[in-house]
Amino acid sequence: MQDTDLFLSLAEIAGVFVGFGALIAVRSDGTSDTWGVASVGMVVWGGIQVVVLALVPVAISRFPVADHALWMSSSLIFLAFFWILGEVVERIFPERMAMRAAWPMRARWQMELIFGILVILPMNLALIVILLGVLPDLEAALYFTSLVLLLFTDTLLLLFMVTSGGRPQHA
């Protein structure tokens, strides 16, 4: 794999989000506010996802695998990590569940629709294109683009947390 440094740099950037979330948690004396805990947890989880998923192709490339096998296996791990582990994390932390339950349905759907169309859909489509092997010359670029979109999602979550305290704004 020729872009190892690029993926390692992206993992380092995402590590900043993990550290920033941990710093917020420590500096706020372990906030007990449901919104604060859930928001910090979401930023940290997003950073952890990017770190791990940026390192996956670097680790797999250490083995003698063909390019398509590298990007296909990385994409499968990406999708499983994002959807399956994301759902597990969503359900095992009571603050995340309380945040979802307390957030007005309309505001939540609007936010999820915007994130879904602008970020999550393109991220998943790029990974599916890799799995289908439709654009073999672009698989590394598509995977990297998916990672950047995931990091962008985490950036938006961080912005949301900082500007609104993670709380939905009521009219």
Three-state SS annotation for 46-95: HHHHHHHHHHHHHHHCCCCCCHHHHHHHHHHHHHHHHHHHHHHHHHHCHH
The pTM of the whole model exceeds 0.85: no
166 in helix, strand or coil?
Answer: coil
**Are 127 and 142 within 8 A, CB to CB?**
yes
| Whether the Cβ atoms of residue 167 and residue 99 lie closer than 8 Å to each other | no
Of 84-88, 108-112, 122-126, 155-159, which one has max mean pLDDT?
122-126
How far is CA 31 from each of CA 26, 95, 100, 162, rounded to the nearest angstrom? Answer: 8, 12, 18, 14
Residue type, 3: D
Using one digit for the tens of pLDDT, what is the confidence trace for 110-132? 777 877 888 899 999 999 999 99
Task: Categorize the per-residue pLDDT at 171 as very low, low, confident or very high, splitting at 50, 70 and 90.
Answer: very low
- What 8-state DSSP symbol labels residue 138? G
Residues 132-155 have a mean pLDDT of 92
- The rounded mean pLDDT for the chain is 81
On the question of pLDDT at 154 being above 90, the answer is no
Q: How big is the chain, counted in residues?
A: 171
Q: Is the pLDDT of residue 8 over 90?
A: no
